Structure 1
Amino acid sequence: MKKRVFFDELNDKENQKLALQEYYKYKNGDEVKAGNKMFGYVAEPLKNDEDSGMQAYTITPTKGQKLADVKEVTILFRGSTSPAGINSVASAIDFFNDWFKNDLPAAEQVSPLAGGIIGGVEGALSSGPAGIGVGAVNGIRKSEDKSPKAVPPQFTASSKYLKKMMKRYPDAKFNVYGHSLGSMNAQYAAADTDHPNRINKVLAYEGPNIHKILNSKQRETAKGLKDRIFNYVDSKDLVPLGYSTGAAAVGWVIHVFSKKSKKGLGDQHMWGGYQFTASGEVKVEFDDASVKGEVKVRMHDLMSQYRSMSQTGGGLSSGERIYLDAAQATVFAGLIETTAETGITAIKQDIRKGVTSLQDNQEDVKRLSRQLAGHLTEGEISGALAEVGATQYRLVTVPQAKLDHLKTQASQIESDYKQIAKQVKSGVEQLKDSDRQVAGYFSHE
């Protein structure tokens, strides 16, 4: 039997690679990988709900287990079929179901901007150009209306599917993944579950914020599951709507520290802007909620291991305690490294903007002076500016030198933090080399 990677061993990049498998075609019994690591097998082939268009895979750790013996189940909810993906009648039906039955109705309910645009289009289709304004206003009001929302059919189908799988695998904990429309399906299915204690972890990527669509009971369930639902959002992606500052959301909202994809908006949406550290951890924005959310992600898996070890009875062995301490140190070493790199990068970007602004300001001063004193020569203008201290040296050179000094200090801080992280990781590796039992825990042997 091939050795598989356990769910709590996956890093952020491997989790993203596993979520990507929702777009691949698998048959029953096929092996599924998370990156280059074997993760499990397709136990339930692609479920395609013909009425709603919902599609999902169910993955279990091994083949041929009795259903009651399965302890871990992973569900992948598939995202929307793109226009570029239409190559058959079946895919055209998928596109229609995904977008016109689910994506657009959800978008106009969660975002005033989307509601206004969609309402304007509907107004134009029904009443011509004169109907655009009225339609846009109605669309905005629809989004901001506090009354119960219409639940898209795929949300309901996804909830039913999760409940069905929980009944089929009665003793299993569930990990749920979804991207784009699949993210909304994952959020809704978790919030609508009858057994929140059986949800181990939900990883949702690049989907709109569906909190407005939930009823009061579902919102309470989502609130109780907050530390097990992680919602990754790239601000450069146009799809994740409704995550304005302070907006209630399902789970922890983690804003990734993304780059602009050179391949366009489609690639940006398909994780194209995500950046990862050398150890596979995603870089997140340097804001309180995103950093806390990423801490929760990493500590969640460690706590799962702790609970598993504690169930054996008799307390933790010395080797288990050492392992958990070392694993915790590794987690925080990674966080130190990621936070330092992301935070310092943001500071450097601000410094570069500051230098550019200084140079632009100097040019603006010269331009304005030429306009006000067009009868003077360049030399006379420069002399007049120098008399009031508006020189290149005062306006640009000195401030830029100070910013360059700050940049050097920031780079040194980043280097120091990375060195600390490196020393912690090196210490853990030395511990693994000297203690076979501890090394075994790290590899789940």
Structure 2
Amino acid sequence: MNDKDRVELARKEYDDLQLNSKIDLNGGETTVGRVSQVNDKPTGEQSFVVTDKYCPTSASIEQRNQVKEVTVIYRGSSFELSSDAAKDWLLNDIPTGIQVANGGGAVAMPQLQSSAETLKNAMELYPNAQVFVYGHSLGSMNAQYAVSDLSDKESSRIAGGFFYEGPNIYGVLSPKQQATADALTKLNKLFNYVDSKDLVPIGYGSGKMSVGNVIRVNSQKVGLIDQHMWGGYEFNKDGSIKATKEGSLQLAKYRVTQQLSAIDMMRKNFMKSGGGLSSSEEIFLDASEAMAITQGMKQTINGEIAELKQMYTDGIKNAGDLWKTTRSNAENTGSHLSYGECIEALARGNATESSIVREPVREYEEKLAKATKVSRNYDELLQKIGDSIKKQLETDEELANQIRSM
């Protein structure tokens, strides 16, 4: 699953999800699972527990033991005039916002506490599942608090936490909760997405601790509400989010780790037959590993290229501005001279449009072209690896059937 998929999944929290609702992404190409729990608590917490196969709380322990993946999604604040909105804003958003602004508070708000109970309950119900946690806005705060309130044993089952456009609640946490958040962050399992053009995600200053790696999104400016609702997010062709260099690096590490882990699991399943790996299986696994690593490298350089493009774009603009200022100052100083005489005087000091604008701009454009070429080379390599994997599956029906059955 890439960044774009995860945003699509997080958006589901605002859908009218019911028990057994199927959670599909990419127009049905990817199925996450089915809604096995719908929570609407007195605290105002609204959340959904999605399991890889429909398995409600009433299912037997044998059935629940077979669930391998659980996704807990926390819904954000309600904007409608209702009791839900009152609970969200008056009992949770505003008090927690004040705590964040003041650097912390003595007690977490009720909805944060009930959200922690939801996550723990889901982990207890499905004891063999790896767990993913999502939340947006108020849901982000709920998700941040929930993962931070886990025991060491429980937190070892967290496979990923993705929090979008919510305030930084790190200061609200107890020292023990902060230690849990720190450990999961260092393991590169938690990601806190922040659009600086959105007014809601406060508390993320330079050097401030946070629940998760802060991913600063390189966003477009859109309307106030749209900005908060992912409207400014942009994605690369591979589905990775356009973020700063540091954010892209962290997400690339996570992506590669997850993919290599899945490939290792696939390798173990292939080996269950006891006869070792066939040549087709070896080729497929090697190509899959190459794909995962190359995708990670491509995602890493996406952040680098984005920063280079911005730097070169700024450089080109600054060069033009510098020439205008230089020319204007010369005309003011030599007001008795003609325009041509001013330009000639500047040229004698090697201050020409060519030296100030054209030459630097040409250098910037050449460097940008090189960076863009590197990106294209990765795209071509990924295409070749993908074609190799596809060809292997097309020529080996048994291998294709094995993959489909996993």
Of the three residues 327, 349, 356, the one matched with 2:310 is 349
Distance (Å, rounded) in 1 between the aligned partners of 2:399 and 2:97? 49
In structure 2, what is the Cα distance between the partners aligned to 1:314 and 1:361?
70
Deviations 1:191-230 (A, max 9, x none): 1123223333222222222221111211222233233322
The corresponding residue for 1:102 is 92
**Which residue matches 1:62?**
53
Cα distance in 1 between the residues matched to 2:236 and 2:401: 25
Shift of 1:25: 0.9
- In structure 2, the CA distance between the partners of 1:337 and 1:55, relative to structure 1 (3 Å rule), is same
Q: Which residue of 2 aligns with 1:150?
A: 107
Pairing partner for 1:92 from 64, 67, 82: 82
Q: Secondary structure at the match of 2:229?
A: helix
Distance 1:21 1:244 in 2: 29
List per-residue Cα deviations over 1:402-422 (Å, max 9, x = no partner).
222223322322222322332
Instruction: State the partner residue of 2:34.
Output: 41
> Residues 399 and 297 of structure 1: is their aligned pair in 2 closer, same or farther, counting only changes over 3 Å?
closer
C-alpha separation in 1, matches of 2:150 and 2:329: 65
Is the Cα–Cα contact under 8 Å of residues 193 and 216 in structure 2 kept in the other structure?
yes
Give the direction of change, closer, same or farther, for the CA distance of 1:248–1:437 in structure 2 (3 Å limit).
farther
Measured in 2, the distance between the counterparts of 1:64 and 1:355 equals 58
Partner of 1:331: 292
CA gap of 1:12–1:435, structure 2 versus 1, over 3 A, is: farther
With over 3 angstroms needed to count, the CA separation of the structure-2 counterparts of 1:363 and 1:315, relative to structure 1, is farther
Matched, 1:259 2:219: yes
CA–CA separation in structure 2 for the residues paired with 1:396 and 1:64: 65
Change (3 A) 1:322 1:243: farther
1:207 paired with 2:197, answer no
Q: Name the TM-score, length of structure 2 as normaliser.
A: 0.86
Deviations 1:304-331 (A, max 9, x none): 5635764886889425665543332222
Structure 1 293/348 Cα, relative in aligned 2: closer, same or farther at 3 Å? closer
**d(CA) in 2 for partners of 1:316, 1:167:** 37
Distance verdict in 2 for CA 1:402–1:63, change over 3 Å = closer
On the 8 A contact 2:20/2:54 being kept in 1, the answer is: yes
Residue 27 of structure 1 is matched in structure 2 by: 18
Q: Report the CA distance between 1:96 and its aligned residue.
A: 2.4
Q: Which residue number in structure 2 is paired with residue 392 of structure 1?
A: 353
1:77 & 1:393 partners in 2: Cα distance?
57
Q: For 1:209 and 1:391, how far apart are their aligned partners in 2?
A: 50
> Per the alignment, do residues 373 and 175 of structure 1 end up closer, same or farther by CA in structure 2, a change over 3 Å counting?
same
Matched, 1:293 2:290: no
Q: Write the deviation string for residues 160-182 of structure 1: whole angstroms up to 9, x where unpaired.
A: 12222333334433222111111
* CA distance in 1: counterparts of 2:254 and 2:371, whole angstroms: 27
Q: Tell me if the contact between 1:336 and 1:421 (Cα under 8 Å) persists in the aligned partners.
A: no
How much is the aligned-residue C-alpha RMSD, in angstroms?
2.8
Separation (CA, whole Å) in 2 of partners of 1:395 and 1:158 = 58
Q: Superposition pairs for residues 192-203 of structure 1, below 5 Å?
A: 192-194=149-151, 195-203=154-162
SS in 1 for 2:374: helix
1:439 to 376, 400, 405: 400
- Within 5 A, what are the aligned runs for 1:52-201? 52-63=43-54, 66-68=59-61, 69-70=63-64, 71=67, 72-82=69-79, 86=80, 91-110=81-100, 115=101, 142-143=102-103, 149-194=106-151, 195-201=154-160
Q: Deviations 1:332-354 (Å, cap 9, x if unpaired)?
A: 22223333344224322322221
- CA 1:443–1:232 in structure 2 vs 1: closer, same or farther (change >3 Å)? farther
Do the aligned partners of 2:168 and 2:203 also contact (CA within 8 Å) in 1?
Answer: yes
Pairing 1:318–2:318 present: no
Normalised by the length of structure 1, the TM-score is 0.79
Within 5 Å, give how 1:359-438 maps onto structure 2: 359-438=320-399
Pair 324,202 (structure 1): closer, same or farther in 2 beyond 3 Å: farther
Cα distance change on mapping 1:444 and 1:360 into 2, 3 Å: farther
Partner residue, 2:9: 18
CA contact (8 A) 2:248 2:299 kept: no
AA of the residue aligned to 2:348: E
CA distance in 1, matches of 2:296, 2:12: 27
Letter in 2 for 1:400: V
Q: Within the alignment, does 1:303 sit opposite 2:261 as a pair?
A: yes
Paired AA for residue 412 in structure 1? K
Mapped to 1, the partners of 2:292 and 2:89 lie a distance apart of 40
For residues 379 and 280 of structure 1, do their structure 2 counterparts lie closer, same or farther at Cα, with a shift above 3 Å needed? closer
- Aligned-partner Cα distance in 1 for 2:243–2:365: 25
For structure 1, the residue ranges without an aligned partner over 5 or more in a row are 1-9, 116-141
Q: 1:108 to 1:363 in 2, by over 3 A?
A: same
Residue 336 of structure 2 aligns to a residue in which SS? coil
Aligned-partner Cα distance in 1 for 2:192–2:116: 18
Aligned length: 391
Instruction: Indicate if the aligned counterparts of 2:252 and 2:299 stay in contact, CA closer than 8 A.
Output: no
* Secondary structure of the corresponding residue to residue 318 of structure 1: coil
Q: Percent identity?
A: 32
